[in-house]
Each structure stands twice: as structure tokens, then as C-alpha cells.
Structure 1
Amino acid sequence: MKEYSTVKQLYMRAFPKYEREPWPWMMLKSHFKKADFMAFYERQCFVGFAYIIHSHGFHYILFLAVNDQLRSQGYGSRIIAELRKLYRKDSLVLDVEQPNPQARNNHQRLRRIAFYRRNGFYLTSKKIEESQMTYRVLATKKRINQQGVDRIFKWFAWPLGWFIQ
């Protein structure tokens, strides 16, 4: 893709270092049927990307970002609408930083949840605890297979993870 470096630079800017996965690892995993790295365009203008991991009955949006110069113009909602059309019968699942009144970016966390709720996502009871952050899982269906979410991350992290069903 001609915008390869543009996509990579957006990825580096849009996500803090502790949230990012190694770029070569993401590229490698996207060559398998369980993961897709998708770029979105409007009239040949790059507007954003999504990195999605597929499982039985749901599609986990691991990363979604809109081009910095085009934010707040509805492109995030349009990308989600396209993904919902593409995966019509299954649930889309993603995670966001859990709100925390002591966090400097708590207002941003709340706005992000509100954005996803406006776009048809529901808060689930699933949380992902990592060393630096706790994440809340949202999905376009009210119930999710929580063990399935765990399997997604095992597949992504494990070098031979494509054997995990």
C-alpha cells in the first residue's frame, strides 16, 4: 500500500507506547486469516485504519485510528458503520481505558466511551487488567463470550497461536 508509512506513523502517534504492539508482529499476524489490517479512504484520501482479530461469532477491533487532520469530522463513526456492515451478523468488540476520576485523561476516557455507545456499542462486564492500565470491553451485542476474548489475545501473543481455536 502506498500509504504504508503514513499508516504506521498514525499508529505510532495515536497510541501510547504501552498500548502499542510491535509493528513487525502486527504485520506478521495480519497475514493469517484471523487478523486484518484495514485502511480506509474517501476519494483516495487516507482517513484511518483498523486492526481486527477474528474469532467465532465476533471481531475484536484491537486498534482503530482516524487521520489526525480529519478527526471530529465523522470518519470514526463511518469506519465503524463500514465494519458493522462487513461483519453484519457478528458482534464487534473492543476495549477502552476504564474511567478513573484520578486519571489526567479521564474526560477523554469518558468521551471515548460515549462515542462508542453512540455508535452502537454496549459496556460489558469484561475487564482486561494490564500492568499499566485497566480496560473495559465494549461490544455491539450486549453479551460476549469472555473466554473467547481471552483466546483472541492468546492467539495474538502466542507465536504458534493459529493452532488455538
Structure 2
Amino acid sequence: MPLHYHRIQHDDDPALALIRDLYESAFPEHERRDWASFLTLINDPRMHVDVILDAEQALGFLIWWKLNDYCFIEHFAISERVRGAGYGSEVIKHFLKESKGKVLLEVEPPGTPDADRRITFYERLGFVIVNIDYRQPSYVEKGLSYPMYLLQSGAESETEIAKLIPVIHSAVYFI
């Protein structure tokens, strides 16, 4: 059976239980919202939370925002028990097709095995690193930020991508 997706549209959706543990274990505290804050955003029409399922078994999730004519992937995680089985590539390929390819996301700069692996994963899927000095605002401590790389598909100019950064920071990080 091919993968299918369950869109969470309410903060009482039972599928949220499938996401919480993975969300909190896959991302360090400064790269994620506290759970109560996360739940308040589910009603924002720009934010989409998709649970990735295979035969009703949750494999992961994709949290993304529709911002202007771009999709911004805020968080994407596949369960450790099935990592390396090709599900991540399948999900991102499907997402690129559905979003018409105009996608942005953040990754940690290279230098650790996990960061290097993530960058290579996205580059294999056609993403390119945007040559812009970029910092991700902290979800936890106002005023703090962390160096990250922006990756994009859609071959937009860096000038166009730079115009989207304030949109991302305003919508996603509330700054």
C-alpha cells in the first residue's frame, strides 16, 4: 500500500499523540515549540501538519507552511524504527510534486555526521543551498538565533529568497 497522509486540523485530533514523542525526540528544544504553543497554531490556515502513514501505521510527520507562493518545511521527521528504508525520500518527492517544487527548509550547517547526512539527503532530492547568511530564531529564548542553512527547490534567485526570510520569520517565528 502506498504512503498516505492524514492532515491534522484540530488540536484534539487523536493522531497528535503519534507526533508528540517523535517531535520532541527528533528536534532539540531550541528548534521546536513547546507542545502547548504548537497546539495553538493548528488552527492557523497557513500551517499544515501531516501525519505520514503506511497501512495505518504512523511513520513520521511533516509540518509545513504555505507562505506566498512557497512552501516552507518547518519540521520533518521519520520514526527511527523505519529510517533508512526510503520513506523520507518518498515523502519529500511527493511533497515537491504536490507543491509544484517551490519549497524552502532549514538545516544545520555541515560539520556533524547528522547535519552532513541531512544536507546530502536534500541535495540528492534536488535542493540547493541558498548562499545567504541565515539564522533561525529560537523558539525558546527571544532574541537568540542559530546559524542554519536555507535549502530551496524551484531555482529562485537568492534575491527572491532573501525577500521571503522576513515572511518566514514573521509567520513561523513571530518576529
Question: Does TM, scored on the shorter chain, surpass 0.5?
Answer: yes
AA of the residue aligned to 1:116? Y
Alignment-derived partner of residue 102 in structure 2: 91
Distance across 1 between alignment mates of 2:132 and 2:59 = 30
Is 1:111 paired with 2:117?
yes
CA root-mean-square deviation = 1.8
Is 1:142 paired with 2:155?
yes
Alignment-derived partner of residue 72 in structure 1: 84
Distance across 1 between alignment mates of 2:173 and 2:148 = 18
TM-score (norm 2): 0.80
**TM superposition outliers: structure 1 runs of 4+ over 6 Å:** none
Is 1:9 paired with 2:21?
yes
- The number of equivalent residue pairs is 153
TM-score (norm 1): 0.84
Structure 2: tracts of 5 or more residues without a match: 1-12, 137-143
| Paired residues of 1:123 and 1:142 also in contact (CA < 8 A) | no
1:82 to 1:27, Cα distance in 2 relative to 1, 3 A: farther
Shift of 1:76: 0.7
Distance across 1 between alignment mates of 2:113 and 2:145 = 18
Shift of 1:114: 0.5
